[in-house]
Chains A and B, each alone.
Chain A
Amino acid sequence: MFAELIFYSFLAILSMIKSLFAFLIFCIIEGLLTFGGNMKKLFSLLFSVSFFILSTNTYAGSHSHPVTGEKLAADQTFTYWHGDEHSSHDPQILEDTYGSNIARDLFEGLLNQDADGNLIPGVAETWSANDSKDVYTFNLRKNAKWSNGDPITAHDFVYAWQRAVDPATASPYSWFMEIMSIKNGGEVISGDVPPSDLGVKALDDYTFQVELTASLPYFAAMTTHATTFPTHKATIEAHGSDWTKPENMVSNGAYMLTEHVINERLVRERNPMYWDNDNTILEKVVVLVIPDENQGLTRYLAGELDQGPVPAGQYKKLKAEYPEQATSFPRLCNYYYTFNLSETGIEAFQDVRVRKAMAYAIDRNVITEDILQAGQTPAYTFTPGSTAGFDVPKVAFSKMTQPERDAMAVSLMEEAGYGKDNPLSFTMIYNTSESHKKIATVMAQMWKQKLGINATMENTEWKTFLDIRGKQDFEIARGAWCGDYNEASTFLDLLTSPSGYNDGKYSNASVDQLMTEAKTSSDSSKLYTTVERILAAEMPVIPIYHYAGVFMLNSQIKGWPYDNVEQNWYSRNFYKVAK
């Protein structure tokens, strides 16, 4: 491999020397001849040689959709945008949304989600739990095959799940198996017992059973997560970490990996071995990695992508121009600023009146309507309103008008002993980004005007920022959190004392107590509402807004699951209609 590199470099060196002299002769001749339009000739020659005009496939298709009867486009290729290269598409190794999107096409787990996020059969045809909900049994379909033709058995799941927790795999998502409460999950991860002791077994080739340490009513839903997807033992043992390369890969999803160039593209094509292949319509799915969002949009507009990004602040304009294509929907993510409430924080923030005043003084509508402009919602609670089973409590300050909030903020601040004569000063930190900067500027301005606060803005590069925040080396810091699953505890757990993600070190015994109760309660939604009320009264963090997902989608692409709030999509449910 490296010999090849050296060879290339050597070749380049040689050709450089050669060309250096070749063009010198040429340029002298050119230099002497150039008095009129000779240069022009050269240019036109060069350009005419190099321009290959791209042709596009535009002939109409003759097929129609088997269910809806819509006329299908001849070219069933779906090309979409990723802003960054995914870290891996090995189900047990991957850790990002981009990787999960790819893995859901290449692999199929026990269960899938439909367009509304409901559970539907995947490799498992039926599933059941015992009465205490701590033993789950999955009956696998017998016609499911790997892309090399091998049948998929319960042993493949046993292998994959053991692989996920095996310390030798060092999966960054092994903790997911631990929160699935699988017997011995944590013990295997810490190396106390061998992976074979994990509470999973194949009762026979087509019956997979999982033993849990706790009663988990939502366990089945967790098997749609990529970490639980099966992997092919023989392939992994033969190729090691190279098994995810297109030439080696064996997978069981509706698509197979056919090309992968890091930071450029990943191509997957129909898997003829997939058990439901007859119902797959899209032939080919292509991911293009385009780090610059504006460039991503340009290429979408040029027709190179079927799905593209909407750069910050451009949604309104695009929606007006392309109402059919610009899409916005709520996402399970929040954006907030956290006070440092630990010993290293400043004295003033220990005063709840100061924290409340600062939260009240921010006009969230200015941020969502004037800065972000893409359907984000102002946040008065930590948990987004779109979270399943969460009733948004009408906390006091969400009901007020902004002038009322401002008046309240001023009086709270005065009570606390701060004002224009005795201004509060602190540093707010955020990670380097254009939109974080805009929001921080607006916040600092609002605080300055309304409360006379002197906030110094400081931005740092991402990893440094995380390091500073994790060590409580800040006064007030930006934060954002996306739910791992569609339930309020994925957000609220962050503000409990033992949470490793609680960078502000907020600690409230009743919040901890309520969140522990919620784990086993049959009506947890009331408990979450109570927690949110406590948060609104104590204001350990300032909620700013709840995210919206935005993208451009070619109106020929049908089947996008807008109502699936987790946005778990499967390409085999999409199809492209004729123009």
Chain B
Amino acid sequence: MINFILKRISIAIPTILILIIISFILMHSAPGGPFTSEKPLPEQVLKNINAKYGLDQPMYIQMYNYITGIIFNFDFGPSFRYKDRSVNDLIAQGFPVTLKYGSWSFIIAVFFGVSLGVIAAIRQNSYLDYLSVGFSVSAQVLPNFVMAPILVLIFTLWLGWLPGGGWEGGKIQFVIMPVIALSTSYMASIARLTRSSMLEVLNSNFIRTARAKGIPKYKIIFSHALKPTLLPVISYLGPAFVGMITGSVVIDMYFSTGGIGLHFVNGALNRDYSTIMGITILIGCLTITFNLLVDIIYAWIDPKIRYDS
């Protein structure tokens, strides 16, 4: 197992490097630049700004400086858009926000998703099953940019219970709506995955054997059916978790939470090269980490999987 982890980490480093290089080239080849505006800057002023940010140097030198800056100083550079903030500042301020609402969304999505799926499977073709499947399908087709305004309409404008947006350091009343809006579609996917996987497992031979031996139903589900059921769910959860904690532009934009999801999109629109790079690297690292984690959990749950040859 240790060998496997080491091997994965050694592959991860060049992967990140390639990610940096490709995004760097892509970003810089997009038309316009960070300082293009409706009122173009006078040449000399633009020259001073480019010199300050090192944009006057050839691209390979910029890239070299950028990568060495990250490796030696953990410095992701200054933001070109928010001129007196660094990318480290932006991520340090935005990531805890997305991490908070993302983690809560994840917990809620997994909790309700798996519960719904399991209930639907063990009560197949009952009203509970239809209810759960009905909910899942409707939640999945309802995108969060439709969900968010509906929530605000109900809880802010009609009932007046919750503030329509903001974060204020993550007080609970500011977290509820972002979490609901973000978690529902994930919850629905998890429920559907769990249900179909559970059904498959419940119809397999070893469960029939267990039943024939007279093992109580809860014990069958708990100690026999659960582990194999969760395998496909877990492989979905790794990327889903990264997706949730790196924020959603819809949530950040609609609820003004100040998370990194909005920075990611605005960074691209503003050609804020360093911000977009910083967040890309963050998401890249998280994705690699969680995929590795999923593989480890896999091996732990399913003894058939052995990574050491």
Tell me the A residues contacting B by CB distance below 8 Å: 1-2, 4-5, 8-9, 12-13, 15-17, 19-20, 23-28, 30-32, 34-35, 50-54, 85, 87-88, 90, 93, 167-168, 170-172, 174-175, 178, 186, 189-191, 241-244, 261-265, 288-292, 294-295, 298-299, 301-302, 304, 461-464, 466-468, 470, 480-481, 500-501
Would B48 and A34 count as touching, CB distance under 8 A?
Answer: no
Q: Does B67 contact A (CB under 8 A)?
A: no
Within 8 A of A (CB), among B235-289: 237, 241, 245, 252-254, 256-259, 262-263, 269-271, 282, 286, 289
Residues of A within 8 A of B92 (CB): 1-2, 4-5
Would A265 and B166 count as touching, CB distance under 8 A?
Answer: yes
Query: Which of A5, A9, A27, A262 contacts B82 (CB under 8 A)?
Result: A262
**A480–B37 alpha-carbon span in the complex (Å):** 12
Would B162 and A54 count as touching, CB distance under 8 A?
Answer: yes
Would A289 and B256 count as touching, CB distance under 8 A?
Answer: yes
8 residue pairs bridging A and B, Cβ less than 8 Å apart: A1-B92, A24-B226, A93-B83, A168-B52, A170-B51, A172-B35, A262-B263, A481-B38
Would A298 and B153 count as touching, CB distance under 8 A?
Answer: yes
Task: Render B214-249 as a binary contact track against A, CB cut-off 8 A, 1 for contact.
Answer: 000110011000100010000001000100010000
Q: Which stretch (B17-25, B107-115, B201-209) binds chain A?
A: B107-115
Residues of A within 8 A of B52 (CB): 168, 170
Query: Which of B114, B253, B269, B293 contacts A13 (CB under 8 A)?
Result: B293
**A186–B36 alpha-carbon span in the complex (Å):** 21
Query: Which of B88, B168, B221 contacts A2 (CB under 8 A)?
Result: B88
Q: Does B14 contact A (CB under 8 A)?
A: no
Would B269 and A291 count as touching, CB distance under 8 A?
Answer: no
Count of A-B contacts judged by CB separation below 8 Å? 225
Q: How far is the CB of A86 from chain B (nearest CB, A)?
A: 8
Would B256 and A88 count as touching, CB distance under 8 A?
Answer: no
Would B160 and A302 count as touching, CB distance under 8 A?
Answer: yes
Q: How far is the CB of B154 from chain A (nearest CB, A)?
A: 11
**A421–B225 alpha-carbon span in the complex (Å):** 75
Would A174 and B45 count as touching, CB distance under 8 A?
Answer: yes
Residues of A within 8 A of B161 (CB): 51, 53-54
**A59–B77 alpha-carbon span in the complex (Å):** 49
Residues of A within 8 A of B303 (CB): none
B contact patch SS? helix
Q: Does B32 contact A (CB under 8 A)?
A: yes
Would A263 and B48 count as touching, CB distance under 8 A?
Answer: no
Q: Does B119 contact A (CB under 8 A)?
A: yes
Query: Which of A9, A265, A304 contacts B286 (CB under 8 A)?
Result: A9
Closest to B126 in A: A35
Would B82 and A85 count as touching, CB distance under 8 A?
Answer: yes
Within 8 A of A (CB), among B7-47: 30-33, 35-42, 44-45
Residues of B within 8 A of A1 (CB): 88, 92
Would A34 and B40 count as touching, CB distance under 8 A?
Answer: no
Q: How far is the CB of A350 from chain B (nearest CB, A)?
A: 25
Would A8 and B173 count as touching, CB distance under 8 A?
Answer: no
Would B253 and A292 count as touching, CB distance under 8 A?
Answer: yes
Would A462 and B269 count as touching, CB distance under 8 A?
Answer: yes
Q: Does B128 contact A (CB under 8 A)?
A: yes
Query: Which of B122, B152, B162 contacts A295 (CB under 8 A)?
Result: B152
Q: How far is the CB of A267 from chain B (nearest CB, A)?
A: 10
Q: Which stretch (B57-65, B95-103, B136-144) binds chain A?
A: B95-103
Q: How far is the CB of B201 from chain A (nearest CB, A)?
A: 14
Would B99 and A54 count as touching, CB distance under 8 A?
Answer: no
Q: Does B84 contact A (CB under 8 A)?
A: yes
A88 touching B84 in the complex, CB below 8 Å, given contacts A23-B107, A264-B257, A265-B166: yes
Would B48 and A288 count as touching, CB distance under 8 A?
Answer: no
Would B162 and A190 count as touching, CB distance under 8 A?
Answer: no
Closest to B179 in A: A50
**A20–B82 alpha-carbon span in the complex (Å):** 39
A295 touching B286 in the complex, CB below 8 Å, given contacts A263-B262, A264-B256: no
Would A500 and B42 count as touching, CB distance under 8 A?
Answer: yes
**A504–B221 alpha-carbon span in the complex (Å):** 73
Query: Which of A2, A54, A186 contacts B173 (CB under 8 A)?
Result: A54
Residues of B within 8 A of A501 (CB): 39-40
A167 touching B30 in the complex, CB below 8 Å, given contacts A244-B84, A288-B256: no
Additional A-B contacts beyond A51-B176, A172-B49, A265-B166 (13; CB < 8 A): A5-B282, A28-B118, A31-B115, A54-B160, A54-B163, A88-B83, A244-B84, A262-B94, A263-B259, A263-B263, A288-B256, A294-B149, A302-B160
Residues of B within 8 A of A53 (CB): 160-161
**A2–B76 alpha-carbon span in the complex (Å):** 11
- Looking at A262, A263, A299, the one whose CB has the most chain B CB atoms below 10 A away is A263
A-B CB proximity, top 8 nearest? A463-B32, A264-B258, A170-B52, A27-B115, A467-B31, A299-B164, A241-B84, A170-B48
Would B115 and A30 count as touching, CB distance under 8 A?
Answer: yes
**A40–B289 alpha-carbon span in the complex (Å):** 37
A299 touching B118 in the complex, CB below 8 Å, given contacts A5-B92, A190-B44, A466-B32: no
